[in-house]
């Protein structure tokens, strides 16, 4: 049986998923981060299969989402997209430390995955945390600055009356460079990384992420099985069952 516990760490809501009998054991930990306008409960199918495989799984709630919904419209939340991303990266370490301090987690076996915004969080976190030992990006992007600029251009076209001071925007773009994996791939340090992306994705463009994968392949020449990109030729912005199962297998291969 799989146990699903609703918990909080420093007021951060999360779901803690673990196989019955493993509750108090020291286990490998997988963080799974949800997408934009989604919520932690929406990824329980990943957590179920991972917990069944022997992992402790934590599904955190991102700021302004799910239990942390502050009543903002989707358009309002979009203006805070990158604040949410960076805040989530910061909170991952807070949650990780709490679980380690309670003796529940093997600190040498921690993985991170996410869909869409969660995939973006995953790739940004790899620039900050060496404790992430293996990762899966599902429809994510490592290109923080260029993707942010494209988002803002889209928002301005959609609403010509939108007031976004250029000075503030440039400050944001500069702040994002710290987390932009596309310009500091050396921070991967050869850690196992799996990408899944639909070629027809209209939300997070496929090609820039694939180009990044092609660029970093040479960094994995000594251990090519630690880097993989699954291209779904027919998919748009929705992960297939293959993507789900490959995520589970990736962590079983690299963290168990």
Q: Is 146 exposed, middle or buried (0-12, 13-18, 19+ CB in 10 A)?
A: middle
Q: Is 120 helix (H, G, I), strand (E, B) or coil?
A: helix
Q: What mean pLDDT comes out for the span 183-203?
A: 97
C-alpha–C-alpha distance, residues 96 and 116, integer Å: 22
Q: CA torsion sign, 66 to 72 to 73 to 78?
A: negative
pLDDT at 157: 83
| Residue 72's pLDDT band (cuts 50, 70, 90) | confident
Q: Is 153 exposed, middle or buried (0-12, 13-18, 19+ CB in 10 A)?
A: exposed
pTM of the full predicted structure? 0.96
pLDDT at 164: 81
C-alpha–C-alpha distance, residues 186 and 159, integer Å: 38
| Residue 165's pLDDT band (cuts 50, 70, 90) | confident
Mean pLDDT of the chain: 95
pLDDT in tens, 216-228: 999 999 999 999 9
Domains of the chain as residue ranges with CATH: 2-255 (3.40.50.1820)
pLDDT at 183: 96
Do strands 134-138 and 105-115 pair parallel, antiparallel, or not at all (unpaired)? parallel
pLDDT at 101: 95
Whether the per-residue pLDDT at 22 is higher than 80: the answer is: yes
pLDDT at 35: 96
Whether the per-residue pLDDT at 177 is higher than 90: the answer is: yes
- Percent share of the chain, pLDDT over 70: 100
206's tokens: 């496929």
pLDDT at 156: 82
C-alpha–C-alpha distance, residues 170 and 176, integer Å: 10
Q: Is 214 helix (H, G, I), strand (E, B) or coil?
A: helix
C-alpha–C-alpha distance, residues 255 and 133, integer Å: 8
Q: Report the 10 Å Cβ neighbour count for 94.
A: 13
Whether the per-residue pLDDT at 111 is higher than 90: the answer is: yes
pLDDT at 2: 97
Whether the per-residue pLDDT at 213 is higher than 90: the answer is: yes
pLDDT at 76: 82
Q: Which strands sit side by side in the sheet containing 227-232, from one edge to the other?
A: 2-9, 12-19, 56-60, 27-33, 105-115, 134-138, 193-198, 227-232
Whether the per-residue pLDDT at 154 is higher than 90: the answer is: no
| Residue 199's pLDDT band (cuts 50, 70, 90) | very high
| Residue 67's pLDDT band (cuts 50, 70, 90) | very high
Whether the per-residue pLDDT at 161 is higher than 80: the answer is: no
Of 38, 144, 134, which Cα lies nearest the Cα of 85?
A: 144
Return phi, psi of residue 8, to 5°: -135, 140
pLDDT in tens, 115-152: 999 999 999 999 999 999 999 999 999 999 999 999 98
Window from 3-7, 22-26, 143-147, 181-185 with minimum mean pLDDT:
22-26
The CA–CA distances, whole Å, from 198 to 101, 119, 204 equal 39, 13, 9
Return phi, psi of residue 144, to 5°: -60, -55
- Phi-psi label, residue 21: left if phi above 0, alpha if psi -120 to 50, beta otherwise: left
């Amino acid at each position: 049986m799989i146990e699903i516990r609703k918990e909080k760490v420093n007021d951060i809501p999360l779901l803690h998923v673990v196989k019955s009998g493993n509750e108090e054991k020291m286990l490998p930990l997988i963080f799974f981060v949800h997408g934009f306008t989604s919520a932690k409960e929406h990824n329980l199918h990943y957590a179920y299969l991972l917990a069944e495989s022997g992992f402790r799984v934590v599904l955190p709630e991102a700021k302004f989402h799910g239990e942390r919904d502050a009543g903002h419209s989707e358009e309002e939340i979009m203006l805070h997209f990158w604040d949410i991303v960076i805040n989530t990266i910061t909170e991952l370490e807070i949650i990780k430390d709490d679980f380690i301090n309670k003796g529940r987690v093997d600190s040498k076996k921690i993985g991170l995955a996410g869909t869409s915004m969660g995939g973006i969080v995953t790739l940004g976190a790899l620039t900050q945390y060496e404790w992430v030992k293996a990762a899966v990006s599902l429809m994510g992007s490592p290109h923080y600055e260029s993707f942010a600029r494209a988002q803002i251009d889209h928002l301005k076209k959609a609403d010509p009356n939108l007031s976004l001071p250029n000075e503030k925007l440039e400050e944001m773009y500069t702040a994002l460079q710290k987390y932009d994996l596309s310009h500091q791939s050396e921070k991967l340090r050869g850690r196992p990384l799996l990408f899944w992306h639909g070629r027809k994705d209209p939300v997070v463009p496929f090609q820039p992420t694939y180009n990044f994968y092609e660029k970093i392949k040479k960094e994995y020449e000594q251990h090519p099985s630690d880097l993989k990109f699954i291209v779904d030729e027919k998919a748009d912005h929705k992960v297939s069952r293959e993507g789900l199962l490959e995520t589970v297998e990736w962590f079983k291969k690299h963290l168990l």
